[in-house]
């Protein structure tokens, strides 16, 4: 939903008429820490990709993984699950 809409512009009951519009919602705004990947330590096991509740981690052509910071909400689950200790959560200010 367009967050600049005035109350007059909303459909009755705040109904959304554009399917799939949730993908436009930047859950990345919630993040206070972001995951940083150490490619040296990563063995491409895919656990982080499997566990990420936002589906923010995608598989690249070369078999490695990358985080989409538009959706990554900074929960730290990927860092917790990574058996290689390849993901570190870093404060956003740093």
Partner 1 sequence: MRRVALEGSFAAAEAARIADVDVIAAYPITPQTHIVERLAEMVADGELDAEYIDVESEHSALSCLLGASAVGARTFTATAGQGLELMHEVLYIASSMRLPIIMAVANRALSAPLSVWGDHSDAMAVRDSGWIQVFAENSQEVSDLILWAFRVGEDRKVLFPVMVHLDGFHISHVTEPVLLPDKEEVDRFLPPYCYPLPLDPDRPVTMGAYGPPEIYSEAKKAQEVALRESKEVILRGWEEFRDAFGRSYSPVELHPPQGAKTLLLTMGSFSETAQLAVDQKRRKGEDVGLLSIRLWRPFPFEELSGAARDAHTLIIFDRSISFGGPGGPVACEVKSALYSEQRRPKVVSFIGGLGGRDVSQKEFEQMIDRGVEIVEKGSLGMYETIGIRD
Distances (CA, A) of 4 to 8, 10, 77: 11, 11, 32
Q: From the CB of 58, what's the least distance to partner 1, in Å?
A: 23
Query: Which residues pair with residue 35 across a beta bridge?
Result: 89
Q: Based on the number of CB atoms within 10 Å of its own CB, is 67 exposed (0-12), middle (13-18) or buried (19 or more)?
A: buried
Q: Which does 10 bind (CB under 5 to 8 A by kind): ligand SF4, partner 1, none?
A: partner 1
Contact flag: residue 43 with ligand SF4 (CB under 6 A):
yes
Q: Which spans of this chain sit near ligand SF4 (rule: CB under 6 A)?
A: 35, 37, 42-48, 52, 54, 56-57, 65, 67, 72-78, 81-82, 84, 86-87
């Amino acid at each position: 939903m367009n967050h600049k809409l005035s109350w007059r512009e909303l459909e009755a009951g705040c109904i959304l008429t554009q399917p799939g519009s949730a993908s436009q919602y930047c859950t990345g705004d919630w993040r206070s820490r972001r995951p940083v990947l150490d490619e040296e330590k990563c063995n491409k096991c895919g656990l982080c990709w499997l566990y990420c509740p936002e589906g923010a981690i995608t598989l690249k052509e070369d078999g490695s993984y990358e985080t989409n910071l538009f959706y990554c909400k900074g929960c730290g689950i990927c860092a917790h699950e990574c058996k290689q200790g390849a993901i570190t959560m870093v404060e956003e200010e740093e």
